[in-house]
Structure 1
Amino acid sequence: MISKADVIVIGSGGLGAATAYYLSIHKGISVALLDKHDIGSQTSPRAAGMVSCVRKSDLMISLIKDACRKIEAFTEETGQPLDWVHSGSLKIARRPQDAEVIKTDFERGRRMGLDVELISPEQANRLNPFMKPTGVKAAIRIGDDRYFDPAQVAIGFARAAAARGATLLPKTDVLTVNISAGKVIGVTTAKGTIEGPVVVDAAGAWTRQVAEASGVRVPLVPTRQQLIVTEPLDGARADLPMVRIMDAAVYTRPCQGGFLWGVYEETPRFFDMLSLGASFDVKDMPLDIEVLRSAAIEVKDQLPILQTAKVREFRGGIPTVTADGHHILGPAPGTTGFHFASGCNVAGLSISPAIGEALATWIVDGKPSIDLSPMSVTRFEDQSWSESQLEREAAWQYRHFYGAV
């Protein structure tokens, strides 16, 4: 146990570990990376590991392009392994209104320099024969998209941070962030106190617990995300493009000779982490395979393989979802030294290299290298969210991650 650090990062998922790594690069800055569980052990390794480059804003596209470059250079830069495949993806519309969204995606992607192409349902089928053209109104090929092994990212960043002098403190539960006269002065953990002027709340599903124990309000909801990894299948090559079906919110990608697939549920299950108890681990989250079986039926005309493929692994995580579908990043208002890296909206791991570097720069230099004000928690200051309102808005954002209307 240490007694002091210049920056204390709470939570060692993708966002927290990446922030700790990029802070550790700066000489003279001592970094402590804390987690109530093992390092990099909670939601991040249970993610899908899919990188989606066509996002809803220019800012998000700029960040994900930067993240792609960092994913490609991950092993060279950090010295840690990261298996990734540049497969591209297919985004599929089955309704006229979703076809209009695809046109907008194409125009935005082309303007932002992405490799995008509007293609026919038959062309989509030729690119990935498991995706049948029946009922498809429109499709876009996104050549920049890729996928990676989600289990390697957070732990890789954490180990790389440790190699550069950061202190890793697993199984160290933060009880409160200590604030005096509006300034962070450290944290109290179950193992003792660590003094420090800067804290990053990257606690994932526990973000609200950490913040609210210190009197800081943050409007996000821990949300169940479930996925299946199938047994190996004939013809399931690693380079087949990923598939996203918009209105059904179903996604799939190649995985270890079969497919990984999941769904953004229409009525997602939310969690009050405080009520789950201090010893709760994400691996113990209650799962419901019937949700995925229903989703497989919903896309049976386009992805019939999902109904027949045998299940090898069924897992889930607890990402955090916000009322507007955007991350919460940067300083908390009214408290000097308190920063957020959360509100991942089921897309945090893929973008964590870019966000981690941006937040580290923000902390060290006093401003980020790119304008991140749209992600500031201050955007919610004028709205008094009831829990039911927050959950209602978060549920909509979760289901409509692909921009379907």
Structure 2
Amino acid sequence: MTTAQQADVIIVGGGIFGCAIAYYYTRNNPGRKVLVLERNEICNAATSRAAALLTRIRSKQHFIPLSLETYAAIAAMEKQLQESLDIKQTGVLHIAASENSVNDLKQLMQIAAEFGDTAEYIDNNTAKQKLPWLQTDEVLATGFMPTESYCDPYLLGTFFARCAKMQGANIRQGVAVTGLIQQQNIVTGVSTSAGNFYADAVVIATGTWSPLLGKQVGVGLPLAPVRSQYWITERHNLFPVTQPIALLPDAQAYARPEGGSLLFGIREPQSLVVSPDKIPDDISNYSFSADGGMADLAAVMHQLAKFFPGIYDIGLKHYIAGFSGYTPDNNLSIGKVPGVEQLFAAAGCVGAGISTAGGVGLALAELVAGKQSPFDISAFNLERFGVIDPFSDEWLQQCALARSQKRSG
């Protein structure tokens, strides 16, 4: 065995989670050898297809420290690389048009205050000034949080990768991991298209494909590949790049500017879910929707049109879809893999992978190094559902329903 085949840590998967773990591990453990193995190109699947809302304040408070760490990482990496990630700090409007949404917004504003984040209520006229396309007839309350942002997700992922390489990580693209190597219940390495590699610890960070590696060691990793989809309109002066993100829980939709256009996504009543073993290795040419999601959009168009009546007239230029790893409780799935030594997993992004990447990266890097996570990640425990079969139809439908019914970011 050559030294090139031996590492302290092997990270399987070069998406944003895998690259973030490599960044933190090399930063906090200088001199240790980290190997990231990606079968395609880094950040080319779910990462590059994300809408990339860097949401800080959420109703699920255990997400917040993870997102705040992402902001801290961005500042540190910009300094390290002497480059700007060009974060768009436009703020976010939380728009409530029902009693339930008003109550949810009240709680969210309280959470913002507890975390010291700026938040204020604004009237409908002010909301309309900030979002010229917004119809406010049914709006009951709007909260504005000016520190919220969005970014280019691929760029953020590659920032993690580039800094990790500067710190000594070896990132190999075009190397497919085909299996885990075990001695009794201890994972000692991986088999790949380029031979076997060995390490003291292995991290599964292969996104919605993660259950395939979990199955090899008899563990059902809790997540399912559920489609996320969004559209980008034609360019229009209604959508300046400086305008805020809009979260519309009563339409189960969100929107943000995108280069002079409007990017918007919806949560359709019947989310598409696919078994992890039915997804191709490369989703570049995968058909997520034969009609570009138009049937799904049509099913909820009337709800969205209450706030954006121009949706009927504006042209739609782009359709983007990808798989996100969802769980029945809309929580991440990260931590030590139960019943197997020296194996860890970072999966189940539940549509929050970009904003939480920094916190996930730091938490997993510390666990792999034998330390404690600096964050409370108990809500993301891989054992919280008990023994599950991530390939069963019942499980897949539970995860799909969780996305369809999700109202908050």
Q: TM-score, normalised by structure 1?
A: 0.93
Task: Give how far 1:347 is off.
Answer: 0.8
Instruction: State how 1:112-261 maps to structure 2 within 5 Å.
Output: 112-261=115-264
Instruction: Tell me if structure 2 keeps the 8 A contact 1:40–1:154.
Output: yes
Matched residue SS, 2:147: coil
CA distance in 2, matches of 1:235, 1:371: 42
Pick from 283, 286, 293 the counterpart of residue 289 of structure 1: 293
Q: Which residue of 2 aligns with 1:300?
A: 305
CA distance in 2, matches of 1:125, 1:247: 17
CA distance in 1, matches of 2:397, 2:71: 32
Task: Give how far 1:34 is off.
Answer: 1.1
Instruction: Tell me if structure 2 keeps the 8 A contact 1:42–1:283.
Output: no
CA distance in 2, matches of 1:35, 1:150: 17
Q: Which residue of 2 aligns with 1:319?
A: 324
Matched residue SS, 1:225: strand
1:339 aligns with 2:344: yes
The 1:340–1:78 alpha-carbon spacing in structure 2 relative to 1, beyond 3 Å, is: farther
Cα RMSD for the two superposed structures: 2.2
The 1:386–1:230 alpha-carbon spacing in structure 2 relative to 1, beyond 3 Å, is: closer
The 1:383–1:283 alpha-carbon spacing in structure 2 relative to 1, beyond 3 Å, is: closer
The 1:235–1:385 alpha-carbon spacing in structure 2 relative to 1, beyond 3 Å, is: closer
Instruction: State how 1:383-402 maps to structure 2 within 5 Å.
Output: 387-402=392-407
Task: Give how far 1:79 is off.
Answer: 4.8
CA distance in 2, matches of 1:92, 1:310: 24
Q: Which residue of 2 aligns with 1:74?
A: 77
CA distance in 2, matches of 1:384, 1:16: 24
CA distance in 1, matches of 2:76, 2:315: 35
CA distance in 1, matches of 2:84, 2:285: 24
1:277-324 superposed Cα distances (whole Å, 9 cap, x missing partner): 4x4424424223212344443211211233322223211111100111
How many percent of aligned residue pairs carry the same amino acid? 25
In structure 2, stretches of 5+ residues that fail to align are: none
Matched residue SS, 1:85: coil
CA distance in 1, matches of 2:26, 2:377: 21
1:23 aligns with 2:28: no
The 1:103–1:389 alpha-carbon spacing in structure 2 relative to 1, beyond 3 Å, is: farther
CA distance in 2, matches of 1:362, 1:79: 30
- Name the amino acid aligned to 1:74: M
Instruction: Tell me if structure 2 keeps the 8 A contact 1:229–1:255.
Output: yes
Matched residue SS, 2:171: strand
CA distance in 2, matches of 1:172, 1:297: 46
Q: TM-score, normalised by structure 2?
A: 0.92
Matched residue SS, 1:268: coil
- Comparing 113-122 with 128-137, greater Cα deviation is found at 113-122
- Comparing 55-64 with 377-386, greater Cα deviation is found at 377-386
Q: Which residue of 1 aligns with 2:52?
A: 49
In structure 1, stretches of 5+ residues that fail to align are: none
The 1:79–1:167 alpha-carbon spacing in structure 2 relative to 1, beyond 3 Å, is: farther
The 1:80–1:31 alpha-carbon spacing in structure 2 relative to 1, beyond 3 Å, is: farther
1:241-273 superposed Cα distances (whole Å, 9 cap, x missing partner): 111110322111011111111112221111123
Instruction: Tell me if structure 1 keeps the 8 A contact 2:66–2:357.
Output: no
Task: Give how far 1:31 is off.
Answer: 0.8
Question: Size of the alignment, in residue pairs?
Answer: 403
CA distance in 2, matches of 1:68, 1:198: 28
The 1:269–1:54 alpha-carbon spacing in structure 2 relative to 1, beyond 3 Å, is: same
Instruction: Tell me if structure 2 keeps the 8 A contact 1:250–1:295.
Output: no
CA distance in 2, matches of 1:60, 1:346: 12
Instruction: Tell me if structure 2 keeps the 8 A contact 1:282–1:318.
Output: no
Task: Give how far 1:147 is off.
Answer: 0.6
CA distance in 2, matches of 1:78, 1:183: 38
Matched residue SS, 1:193: strand
Matched residue SS, 1:390: helix
Q: Which residue of 2 aligns with 1:34?
A: 37
Q: Which residue of 2 aligns with 1:374?
A: 379
1:51-103 superposed Cα distances (whole Å, 9 cap, x missing partner): 22221233212222222233344321345652211111111222212221111
